[in-house]
Amino acid sequence: MCGLKQEHASQRSSSLEAKENVTKKHSSDSVINLDQENNWNWPGLNLQWRSNNVRRVLAKDGRQKCTITISGYQSLSYFSDVKNFCWFLEPEFAEEIKRLHKLVGNAVTDDRYLIVGTGSTQLFQAALYAHSSPDAHKPINVVSAVPYYSCYPTVADYLKSGLYKWAGDASTYDKDEPYIEVVTSPNNPDGRLREPVVNRSDGFVVHDLAYYWPQYTAITSPADHDLMLFTVSKSTGHAGSRIGWAIVKDKNVAEKMRKYIEISTIGVSKESQLRAAKILRAVSDSCQDLSDESFFNYGRRRMTERWERLTSVIKLNGLFSLPEYSTEICNFSGVPTKTHPAFAWLQSKGMIEDSENFLKGHKILTRSGKHCGVSTKYVRVSMLDREGTFDLLLERLSNL
Ligand SMILES: Cc1ncc(COP(=O)(O)O)c(C=O)c1O
């Protein structure tokens, strides 16, 4: 990814730092890292508030509700279910995915192919592979409208595949050639709800719905696209489990995606799938228990609080602007819900040409718009960090 180099360099110290960060408080002059791309494999470090959210769900019925024990003699085989189309998908996990989507109402899963991947990142690559052809005389173009998720260009081009290649902004795509458009909704980095923009018959669309969950946005209908990607990284915050899933309509596409995963990793960790199944079950249970607030309503409430606080600070300091988000009735919660993205997408209003650099000077690390195909006036700031870090962010933005 985006950030792989830093990640390797810091691997040795990451577990130690992750441990420390659970309890460590920031001093007034410490640098706060709100550039999630660098830390996306370090979920314990940055996503603690989401873990707290999970812990709260677990606390009710005791910790065992999300605890799994796997003995040394269990889950040895490559195979999870030889009768299933996706033979490396744990049946328990498949059931929990379907149950959760039904309860939340955010995706159709009936009569669809379900494929598990090592994160939705692996499934994204599988989707590119599935839509490309070894017989084509040129690699197929991969596009996404700006501002796009900064990892797409890197993932598409990292191995210099002869099958597909990054071709930039979908909004200006005018080549008379086949293409794959990635539609991220809500979008990373700007949180907007999106639809395909190229809309031509020689194209394929991959819908990355990592953030189509009630804590981030209103669920207005069950998504029913040809190829949809989801991940536990964003739905429950378990980025370190490296589990994502694809919901696919077409059998040939699903078979090619499965083939990609067979070739690249001969399946997906059973331990991670079993843990993810247990966590999704606890989350679904929380949605059905009417005596208490569900996991998602709790998350939405926390996101709303954070966004209200951030918005008033941004208004007061006057240096940056934020996108406007609409409010829709959420079919899951039944209440009017504004989109509260996982990232704040700040644009400098005046003289600041390089917002990333400017904020770095104030000890706030962010991700520059240049990685998302737009100007350096923009930066992406994580809204999912620990409470103390978020407080410090607001304090520093207030004092700019
Ligand atoms: C839009 C989007 N898709 C995919 C991913 C990666 O998901 P995973 O951790 O499942 O590989 C991210 C992570 O930041 C993301 O923002």
Residue 5: the pLDDT is 40
Statement to judge: residues 278 and 306 lie in one domain: no
Statement to judge: residues 308 and 254 lie in one domain: no
Is residue 82, in this structure, part of any structural domain at all?
no
**Mean pLDDT of the 318-333 span:** 96
How many alpha carbons lie under 13 Å from residue 364 in its C-beta half-sphere?
26
CB 47 within 8 A of CB 384: yes
CA 323/CA 191 separation, integer angstroms = 8
**Mean pLDDT of the 164-186 span:** 97
155 Cα: distance to centroid of ligand 1 (angstroms): 12
Statement to judge: residues 381 and 304 lie in one domain: yes
Is residue 196, in this structure, part of any structural domain at all?
yes
Nearest CA to ligand 1 atom 16: 188
Ligand 1 pocket, residues with Cβ under 6 angstroms: 40, 119-121, 149, 184, 188, 208, 210, 231, 233, 239, 244
**Residue 260, Cβ neighbours under 10 Å: how many?**
20
Statement to judge: residues 383 and 331 lie in one domain: yes
Statement to judge: residues 122 and 270 lie in one domain: yes
Statement to judge: residues 181 and 121 lie in one domain: yes
Last residue of a domain, one of 250, 273, 288: 288
| Torsion, Cα of 127, 129, 132, 138 (10° steps) | 130
Single-letter amino acid, residue 338: K
CA 102/CA 222 separation, integer angstroms = 9
CA 348/CA 332 separation, integer angstroms = 35
2 falls in which pLDDT band (50, 70, 90)?
A: low
Residue 41: the pLDDT is 33
* Mean pLDDT, all residues of the chain: 88
Is residue 359, in this structure, part of any structural domain at all?
yes
Residue 23: the pLDDT is 43
Give pLDDT tens digits for 42-91. Answer: 233 333 334 555 555 555 554 567 889 999 999 999 999 999 999 999 99
Residue 181, strand partner residues: 143, 205
Is residue 143, in this structure, part of any structural domain at all?
yes
Q: Quick one: which atom of ligand 1 is closest to the CA of 40?
A: 14
40 falls in which pLDDT band (50, 70, 90)?
A: very low
Q: Quick one: which atom of ligand 1 is closest to the CA of 37?
A: 14
Give pLDDT tens digits for 368-386. Answer: 999 999 999 999 999 998 8
Q: What is the 3-state secondary structure (H, E, C) of the chain?
A: CCCHHHHHHHHHHHHHHHHHHHHCCCCCCCCEECCHHHHCCCHHHHCHHHHHHHHHHHHHCCHHHHCCCCCCCCCCCCCCCCCCCCCCCCHHHHHHHHHHHHHHCCECCCCCEEEEEEHHHHHHHHHHHHCCCCCCCCCEEEEECCCCCCHHHHHHHCCCCCCEEEEEEHHHCCCCCCEEEEEECCCCCCCCCCCCCCCCCCEEEEEECCCCCCCCCCCCCCECCCEEEEEHHHHCCCHHHCEEEEEECCHHHHHHHHHHHHHHHCCCCHHHHHHHHHHHHHHHHHHHCCCCCCHHHHHHHHHHHHHHHHHHHHHHHCCEECCCCCEEECCCCCCEEECCCCEEEEEECCCCCCHHHHHHCCCEECEEHHHHCCCCCEEEEECCCCHHHHHHHHHHHHCC
11 falls in which pLDDT band (50, 70, 90)?
A: very low
Q: What's the Cα-to-Cα distance from 344 to each of 213, 305, 307, rounded to whole Å?
A: 17, 14, 9
**Mean pLDDT of the 353-371 span:** 97
**Which has the minimum average pLDDT: 10-14, 301-305, 367-371?**
10-14
Statement to judge: residues 270 and 333 lie in one domain: no
CA 268/CA 80 separation, integer angstroms = 10
331 Cα: distance to centroid of ligand 1 (angstroms): 24
Last residue of a domain, one of 288, 322, 343: 288
Statement to judge: residues 12 and 96 lie in one domain: no
This prediction's pTM: 0.90
**Mean pLDDT of the 181-186 span:** 98
Statement to judge: residues 214 and 101 lie in one domain: yes
Last residue of a domain, one of 256, 288, 320: 288
Statement to judge: residues 111 and 195 lie in one domain: yes
**Mean pLDDT of the 176-184 span:** 97
The structural domain count of the chain equals 2
**CATH number of the domain where residue 237 is located:** 3.40.640.10
Query: What residue numbers bound the domain in which 278 lies?
Result: 91-288
**CATH number of the domain where residue 310 is located:** 3.90.1150.10
Q: Is the pLDDT score of 33 beyond 70?
A: yes
400 Cα: distance to centroid of ligand 1 (angstroms): 31
Q: Is the pLDDT score of 278 beyond 60?
A: yes
Q: Quick one: which atom of ligand 1 is closest to the CA of 231?
A: 10
Residue 182 is encoded by which pair of tokens?
């990635």
Share of the chain above pLDDT 70, in %: 86
Is residue 355, in this structure, part of any structural domain at all?
yes
Residue 291: the pLDDT is 64
Statement to judge: residues 95 and 11 lie in one domain: no
229 Cα: distance to centroid of ligand 1 (angstroms): 9
Q: Residue 36: left (phi > 0), alpha (psi -120 to 50), or beta? A: alpha
Statement to judge: residues 261 and 363 lie in one domain: no
CA 50/CA 233 separation, integer angstroms = 10
Of 154, 91, 90, 99, the residue nearest 128 (C-alpha): 154
Residue 350: the pLDDT is 86
Give pLDDT tens digits for 202-261. Answer: 999 999 999 999 999 999 999 999 999 999 999 999 999 999 999 999 999 999 999 999
Residue 324: the pLDDT is 96
Is residue 78, in this structure, part of any structural domain at all?
no
Is residue 72, in this structure, part of any structural domain at all?
no
Residue 63: the pLDDT is 58
Is residue 76, in this structure, part of any structural domain at all?
no
